Structure 1
């Protein structure tokens, strides 16, 4: 469901050595879109003898040669489960609005679940899924791949050491380009709901969800109880229901501000990053590259870290009891953000005078004029677009229109 580094870069730590357990029997639900990443990763793990991909399910047949000939192919999870006993792990990489029913169906089996992000499309569904997981005793890993980065432990040590002084705030910046074809690729793209079913496919909940999730993890906000408040300032330049240019401002239970300024209407795509703002310096984490840059009065250092693969981590959890990197419960803070976006007023349409279209036809993409500077100001000042008084933004609360 999201752009991610290659399987090779995700696997800074493989964890194959010394395993003596038989290969885990795995089923994959959803073989297109981000499901193709899982197919490649499972091919790697199967070659290493760690897993056996025994079955896949998708209403659209897999691309020729993309699935091992030994794996059975089914049109849906119901048919797969009826014909495939004794699964160890079920991976769900399907459209957002299907995560809740498919996740619940998987938890009704004896298999553990790997569920792509976002976990589900509402806080109510999250609570239902969590209760089902607790009742079943099964483990659930959520596909926030960036949380497997070894940089996160280094960042924790950096903050604890006081190298950048007192941590004053955290920001996440994402500037990507998505064209008209992006919103035509599926019927749920850019939708808040379909036929009364929540989708919530906005910039902060799908394409740049990792920016939000990574910032929250660094801030120590994992569960629902770790978040004090969430404010949203949502806009759209494209002809869609959901937001494509937004500021999400979170305050943790410990009072730390976390501001996420995100767009898929940039002039050009740039690597998203999370910035730790300290009283004596700053640290910038480019999470898709596992690259950490630290700036203090003593100078600047940069390091690239390895990464644990979340599928391997789930397998190690099953075999050895290793701690899950991205368990369902720890998605609670992110789900509060999603819920705030889901229940917010419709994103405001940006005046066409402040939108430039680059390219032609389905390859054309919207560019919000001055968006790069707006994102920089929002994260630096921990301010919404409205509070910055941008000409295309809604008046700030208490401001005359």
Structure 2
């Protein structure tokens, strides 16, 4: 049976969802909503209904599934409205801003009996599942994630909330760790959960920026779990050589490495990364779960609670602005700002679990200890 789907947030990254929906079987896109005029690229399907208000969309079309691809600070009310309208929800990452919002949405899920899948699509890969199995099958000593990407000034002009901590007095969510590289954090947290790490007990973070934004484009975070396991994230959007995104699990059986964007994996004993075929699409999984609740969701909202806890700690109002880097340290290459020597710092941090200030990096500042 075909599931009717509505997309709320049809521009920006919503265009990716529109293309993806056009390629899937078993679903039919019936409506789009956006507060801005809806982009005609990709072309709109015949008969599609357009709305400027998600309430009107829900009332008029009553879709089976709603994909929410709006700014993160709008997720909670839209998701609650969609669930109460009788729809299941695919909620883009980062899902929610605070643990209080997480609990609120979990309560609505219990009230309505509906389902919410979160768009951490890398968790649908077979390679990720193999990494988590490897973590569960040994005593894990540490986990690290490292990524080096580049973003230009246009990236921070793509939306009013980009690079901002608040818009019109409303808190927003952005920053390297919690938005573009949120998958690296979520994959690492999932590996820690598989290893039985327990809850996060301490979080130390160093955050930096290379332009006059209010969030980090370079960040280092170290999480300590109740069981003693430590997880270090070292990421940048002002990188030198590209590092797609690696999750490294060190344990008694050896080292496992997942390059999560490409699904390349090296398990203990392997000498090199190898491609692992197979990803389960999260929307297809949600539709299958609708048809048969015995089919488990791959990324139910409950699985993302630890990520939301980290996000809340990193974006709390009392957290200071990231340290601004400049001068000869920052080079502009083809419109992209690059921190000289940053890739070596990222690698050292991931290998040693030490933050830049602990490594004696000259431009580093002492970490902020999150509650």
Task: Please give the per-residue CA displacement for 1:153-211, whole angstroms capped at 9, x wherever unaligned.
Answer: 2223334555xxx4211111110000011111111111111122111200011110000
The Cα of 1:281 is off from its aligned counterpart by 2.9
CA contact (8 A) 2:209 2:324 kept: yes
Taking the TM superposition and a 5 Å limit, the aligned residue runs for 1:271-290 are 271-279=244-252, 281-290=254-263
> 3-state DSSP class of the match of 2:77?
helix
Q: Mean alpha-carbon deviation: is it higher for 57-66 or for 389-398?
A: 389-398
Q: Do residues 345 (structure 1) and 339 (structure 2) align?
A: no
Say if 1:140 and 1:223 are closer, same or farther in 2 by CA, change over 3 A: farther
Answering whether residue 355 of structure 2 is matched by residue 384 of structure 1, we say: yes
Give a deviation string over 1:267-326, Cα, whole Å, max 9, x none: 243311111123453121011111102353x74462423110000010111111211111
Distance 2:209 2:248 in 1: 25
Output the CA distance in 2 between the equivalents of 1:222 and 1:306: 23
Give me the TM-score of the superposition, normalised by structure 1: 0.86
TM-score by length of 2: 0.92
Runs of 5+ consecutive residues of structure 1 not aligned to the other structure: 1-21
Structure 2 counterpart of 1:113, from 89, 97, 102:
89
Q: 1:312 aligns with which of 270, 284, 289?
A: 284
Are 1:122 and 1:198, in contact at CA under 8 Å, matched by a contact in 2? no
Matched, 1:76 2:76: no
Supply the RMSD in Å over aligned alpha carbons: 2.2
The whole-number CA distance in structure 2 between the counterparts of 1:222 and 1:100 is 30
Q: Distance in 2 between matches of 1:329 and 1:100?
A: 15
TM-fit CA distance, 1:126: 2.1
Unaligned runs of 5+ in 2: none
Query: What's the counterpart of residue 41 of structure 1?
Result: 20
Q: Give the conservation status (yes or no) of the 8 Å contact 2:15–2:41.
A: no
Correspondence for 1:183 = 156
- Deviation of 1:35 after TM superposition, in Å, equals 1.1
Can you list the C-alpha shifts for 1:48-103, whole angstroms capped at 9, x where unaligned? 2x011111111222315532112211112122122113x21110011122212211
Instruction: State the alpha-carbon separation in 2 of the partners of residues 224 and 203 from structure 1.
Output: 24
Q: How does 1:87-126 map to 2 (within 5 A)?
A: 87-126=63-102
Q: 2:131 aligned to 152, 155, 158, which one? A: 155
Give the aligned partner of residue 340 of structure 2: 369
